[in-house]
């Protein structure tokens, strides 16, 4: 029988005369009796050999294990799913991408609670995976640390640096005869050069930055690139640190405070973060009983200077941001706008990390006095078309389109809209409306990246788009998403007809359908809820449990 101090959860598995079976199993896989006295650390490895965002994680996990062993812990690796959004664009697969967030968080909870781990290192990258890891850590409230997989290096083509989202825009140029098929294929060979998440301020890198500012990673982790030695060192250091956190009795809830979430939102707004953080940050906070609303985003964004123009909103890459000093340097420039007293898994406060940082390129990370804009990346629009809110990445909109009024062109799916755009049926000044793509109606709130990329690639930059679906972090232009309530739940977007005038006023924070109230009432009386697009499987359950986009599209019973 093993005897030890009962300070680790894992004693429930290995201690006592009636625990001979588990001890035998552990000996079978190579553990020595004395190792069963040490803390058991679960390593969540979201490795997948199908896409570069997770292709390299097995290597990182080896370094995590080395750190755990060195600190006196015993690592146990297990996996979960990891979807690449890029494979799912403009097809049924995208219906599963946002819902996968809940599957990942649930699967981690089930494994950790069943196997009684003492602590966790959560290793992953890409859009829904990082939020899911943070949700699981918050829900379990066990000692935990996140290791984000890191961005890929930018691709090079034609003498400049590119990111993969530009391939979709290139498809639009090909359609217009501005690019040859051979040139497109050459770009394909160049724009995803190494392992890592896409080299842009998309959702993956936005949420990695959020994880770092929340204090759930070691300093510098978010922008340490996947192929760099720095990332391997951070992985090993994270493995070492988790054992210290277990022995100290650390809980994520001690650092994941409301103020920490506000810090994370502010940094995301300063760096041109993805609209998808409006879904993920409230979902993480929900696990802790903290409510984060769209009004919180609006208040913080409107008072946050825009300091770093990273692709797709500007010319700089994630490598430029890393070389300039990464998240610590950005926090240093934000200075008193952040709550520097917030703690992190490193043992340092946000203020201490920022104070020790150096901005190595003041053009990539500007100071407040030289900000690109006095406001952050996202703006929350409300009005009769979105009484509970909608979102636009205002920093990626041309000044001439910040206020736009035009006739609606209505489509009930992304596929219909894509066909119309490629077919040349969209006119300058139109407002494309894509509906029945929300959390319930999609189902799964698909991204409209293909549609928005076609618009940019075909030069239709004076065309706006409004949807109850969502966008990739790569999206740019006068496009408004997350319209709430969605069409499938009776939202006004479901009553828009071709030719209706729609007003998008980003400075005024308005999204309005300019139709008389009597006419709206007439249409509403004739509206009937659509039949769900699926009638079995996970998405059927998802439709019945998922909340509105303005609440984070979380699952509620």
Q: For 59-107, write each residue's pLDDT tens digit.
A: 999 999 999 999 999 999 999 999 998 888 778 899 999 999 999 999 9
On whether 128 is known to bind a ligand per the annotation, the reply is yes
Does the annotation place 85 within a ligand binding site? yes
Residue 380 has pLDDT above 60, yes or no: yes
Compute CA 344 distance to the chain's CA centroid, rounded to the nearest angstrom. 20
Q: What is the DSSP letter of 35?
A: G
Other Cβ atoms less than 10 A from the Cβ of 346: the count is: 18
pLDDT in tens, 260-306: 999 999 999 999 999 999 999 999 999 999 999 999 999 999 999 99
Distances (CA, A) of 496 to 73, 385, 444, 487, 514: 59, 9, 22, 10, 10
Q: What confidence tier does 456 reach under pLDDT thresholds 50, 70, 90?
A: confident
| Band of residue 213 on the pLDDT scale cut at 50, 70, 90 | very high
Termini Cα distance of the chain: 43
Which token pair is 492?
Answer: 């006004």
Phi-psi region of 220 (alpha: psi -120 to 50; beta: other; left: phi over 0): left
Those residues with Cβ within 8 angstroms of residue 162's Cβ, 6 or more apart along the chain or in another chain: 154, 155, 156, 187, 190, 191
| pLDDT value of residue 169 | 78
Report the 10 Å Cβ neighbour count for 517. Answer: 8
- Residues with a known catalytic role: 472
Task: Check whether 437 is labelled as a binding-site residue.
Answer: no
The pLDDT of residue 396: 86
Identify the structural domains of the chain with CATH numbers, from first to last.
38-151+196-356 (3.40.50.2300), 379-551 (3.50.30.80)
Q: Are 452 and 170 a contacting pair, CB within 8 Å? A: no
The torsion angles phi and psi of 8, rounded to 5 degrees, stand at -110, 140
Element (H, E) at 27: helix 20-28
What's the pLDDT tens digit per position in 241-267?
Answer: 999 999 999 999 999 999 999 999 999
CB 478 within 8 A of CB 505: no
Rounded Cα distance, 149 and 42, in Å: 17
Distance CA 404, CA 381 (A): 13
Its sign, for the CA torsion 402, 404, 408, 409, is negative
Beta carbons within 10 angstroms of residue 293's beta carbon: 17
Measured distance CA(235)–CA(250) in Å, rounded: 19
What is the pLDDT, as a whole number, of residue 3?
42
Tally of CB atoms within 10 A around 24:
9
Tell me the per-residue pLDDT of 382-410, one tens digit each, with 9 for 90 and over: 999 999 999 999 988 999 999 999 999 99
Neighbours of 355 (CB within 10 A): 14
pLDDT tens digit string along 338-375? 999 999 999 999 999 999 999 999 999 999 999 999 99
User: What confidence category does residue 474 fall into, taking pLDDT thresholds of 50, 70 and 90?
Assistant: low
What the block records as the tokens of 137 is: 């850590």
Does pLDDT of 6 surpass 60? no
Q: What is the pLDDT of residue 5?
A: 55
Q: Which residue has the tokens 């009005």?
A: 383
Mean pLDDT of the 45-69 span: 96
DSSP conformation class of 224: S
Query: CA 193, 231, 338 angle in degrees (round to 5)?
Result: 110
* Higher pLDDT pick, 417 / 458: 417
28 phi and psi angles, rounded to 5 deg: -60, -35
Q: Write the DSSP assignment of 148-213 as a string of letters.
A: E--BPPPEEETTEEE-THHHHHHHHHHHTTSS-HHHHHHHHHHSS-SSSB-SSSSHHHHHHHHHHH
Q: What pLDDT, on the 0 to 100 scale, is given for residue 363?
A: 97
pLDDT in tens, 523-556: 999 999 999 999 999 999 999 999 999 999 999 8
Burial class of residue 557, CB neighbours in 10 A (0-12, 13-18, 19+): exposed
453: closest CA among 380, 396, 386? 396
The pair of structure tokens assigned to 186 is 């050459």
Tell me how far apart the alpha carbons of residues 458 and 179 are, in angstroms, rounded to a whole number: 11
The predicted pLDDT at position 476 comes to 77
Q: At 249, is the secondary structure helix, strand, or coil? A: coil
* Backbone dihedral angles phi then psi of residue 157, each to the nearest 5 degrees: -150, 135
pLDDT band at 162, cuts 50/70/90?
confident
The percent of the chain in helix, strand and coil, each rounded to the nearest 5, is 45, 15, 40
CB 481 within 8 A of CB 504: no
Q: Strand 403-411 and strand 431-434: pairing? A: parallel
Q: Please give the model's pTM, rounded to 2 decimal places.
A: 0.95
d(CA 487, CA 78): 40
- Phi, psi (5° rounding) for residue 144? -150, 150
Find out whether 127 is annotated in a ligand binding site: yes
Confirm if 316 and 244 have CB atoms less than 8 A apart.
no
How far apart, in whole angstroms, are the C-alpha atoms of residue 542 and residue 538? 6
Say if residues 220 and 329 touch (Cβ distance below 8 Å): no
pLDDT digits (tens, 9 = 90+) for 94-104: 999 999 999 99
CA distance 345 to 217: 7
pLDDT at 2 over 80: no
- Structure tokens belonging to residue 453: 């990329």
């Amino acid at each position: 029988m093993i005897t030890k101090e009962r300070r680790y959860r894992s004693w429930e598995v290995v201690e006592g005369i009636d625990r001979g079976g588990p001890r035998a199993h552990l000996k079978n896989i190579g553990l020595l009796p004395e190792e069963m006295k040490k803390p058991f650390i679960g390593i969540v490895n979201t490795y997948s050999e199908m896409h570069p965002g997770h292709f390299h994680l097995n290597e990182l996990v080896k370094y995590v294990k080395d750190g755990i062993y060195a600190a006196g812990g015993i690592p146990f690796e297990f996996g979960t799913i990891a979807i690449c959004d890029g494979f799912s664009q403009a097809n049924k697969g995208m219906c599963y991408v946002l819902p996968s967030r809940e599957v990942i968080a649930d699967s981690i909870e089930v494994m950790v609670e069943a196997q009684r781990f003492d602590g966790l290192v959560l290793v992953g990258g890409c859009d829904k995976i990082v939020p899911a890891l943070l949700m699981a850590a918050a829900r379990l409230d066990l000692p935990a640390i996140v290791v984000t997989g890191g961005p890929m290096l930018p691709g090079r083509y034609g003498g400049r640096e590119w990111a993969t989202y530009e391939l979709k825009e290139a498809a639009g140029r090909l359609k217009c005869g501005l690019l040859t098929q051979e040139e497109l294929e050459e770009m394909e060979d160049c724009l995803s050069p190494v392992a890592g998440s896409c080299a842009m301020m998309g959702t993956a890198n936005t949420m990695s930055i959020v994880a770092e500012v929340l204090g759930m990673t070691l300093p510098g982790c978010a922008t340490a690139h996947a192929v760099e030695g720095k990332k391997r060192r951070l992985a090993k250091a994270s493995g070492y640190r988790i054992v210290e956190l277990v022995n100290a009795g650390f809980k994520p809830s001690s650092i994941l405070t409301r103020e920490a979430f506000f810090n994370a939102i502010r940094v995301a707004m300063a760096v041109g973060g993805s609209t998808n953080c409006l879904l993920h940050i409230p979902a993480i906070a929900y696990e802790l009983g903290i409510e984060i609303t769209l009004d919180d985003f609006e208040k913080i964004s409107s008072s946050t200077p825009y300091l770093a123009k990273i692709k797709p909103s500007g010319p700089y890459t994630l490598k430029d941001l890393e070389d300039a000093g990464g998240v610590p340097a950005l926090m240093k420039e934000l200075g008193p706008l952040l709550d520097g007293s917030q703690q992190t898994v490193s043992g340092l406060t946000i203020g201490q990390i920022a104070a020790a940082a150096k901005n190595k390129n003041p053009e990539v990370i500007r100071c407040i006095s030289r900000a690109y804009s006095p406001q952050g990346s996202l703006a929350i629009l409300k009005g009769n078309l979105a009484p509970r809110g909608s979102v636009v990445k205002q920093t990626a909109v041309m000044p001439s389109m910040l206020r736009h009024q035009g006739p609606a062109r209505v489509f009930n799916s992304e596929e219909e809209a894509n066909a119309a755009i490629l077919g040349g049926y969209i006119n300058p000044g139109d407002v494309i409306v894509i509906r029945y793509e929300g959390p319930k109606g999609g189902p799964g709130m698909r991204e409209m990246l293909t549609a928005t990329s076609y618009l940019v690639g075909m030069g239709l930059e004076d065309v706006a788009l409004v949807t109850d679906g969502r966008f990739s972090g790569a999206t740019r232009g006068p496009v408004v998403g997350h319209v709430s309530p969605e069409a499938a739940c009776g939202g006004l977007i479901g009553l828009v007809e071709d030719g209706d005038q729609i007003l998008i006023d980003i400075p005024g924070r308005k999204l309005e359908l300019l139709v008389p109230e009597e006419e709206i009432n007439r249409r509403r009386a004739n509206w009937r809820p659509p039949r769900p697009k699926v009638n079995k499987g996970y998405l059927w359950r998802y439709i019945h449990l998922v909340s509105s986009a303005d609440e984070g599209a979380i699952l509620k019973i």
